[in-house]
Structure 1
Amino acid sequence: MSSIEGSAIKKVVVACDAGMGSSVLLTSQLSKSLSPHGVAVEHAPVDRIPEGADVVLCHTGLVDRARKRAPDTVVIAFQMFMGDPAFARLEQAVRDGSTLAE
């Protein structure tokens, strides 16, 4: 199980499969909540996760592909694009510097 300290998170990538609106909307919302803490949030296809990501967020069905593409990066799975507890865990870790684990 990989983990990262919230204070070390500077780049989050929301990885998707089809590039539909839900993941783009999620990226925008997370960017608004995390940018005051110095965290950049990007959107990318799961098979093209960029270098330098500290955390990758993706739907549970894409976790294996995300881990294969970014094996040394913390990959956090979510089930719902809106209101999933994974997003609150990420935001809290960034805010208070606590450990975020897969």
Structure 2
Amino acid sequence: MPSINGTDIKKVVVACDAGMGSSVMLASQLKRQLSKNNVTVEHTPVNSIPADADVVLCHQGLAARARVSAPDKVIIPFQVFIGDPAVTKVVQVVQRGGELSG
């Protein structure tokens, strides 16, 4: 399982499938939260995760596909788009340091 230190995270990708808008809202929220940390946040389809992503956030139902698309990346699955503890942990690790595995 890949891991990364929060200080090394420069790009977070929110990967989605259906394009329903919830993942776009999450990406927008993360951009605001991580802007002071010089972290880029992008929204991409789960099958097109960019090679320069450090961390990939995706709904738990898409985690297996994300791992196939980006096997060497830290994949963080979550259950709800707003207020999920997994997303909060990513923000805290970026802001305060520490290891993130997934």
Fold match by TM threshold 0.5: yes
Aligned ranges for residues 9-88 of structure 1 at < 5 Å?
9-88=9-88
Residues 47-93 of structure 1 show CA distances to partners (whole Å, capped at 9, x for unaligned) of: 11111000000000000100000011000000000100011100110
Normalising to structure 1: TM-score of the pair?
0.97
Report how many residues are paired: 102
Give every structure 1 segment of 4 or more consecutive aligned residues whose post-TM-superposition deviation is greater than 2 Å. Answer: none
User: Aligned residues: percent identity?
Assistant: 61
SS of residue matched to 2:76: strand
Question: What residue in structure 2 maps to residue 2 of structure 1?
Answer: 2
Unpaired runs of at least 5, structure 2: none
SS of residue matched to 1:14: strand
Q: CA RMSD in A?
A: 0.7
- How far did 1:33 drift? 0.2
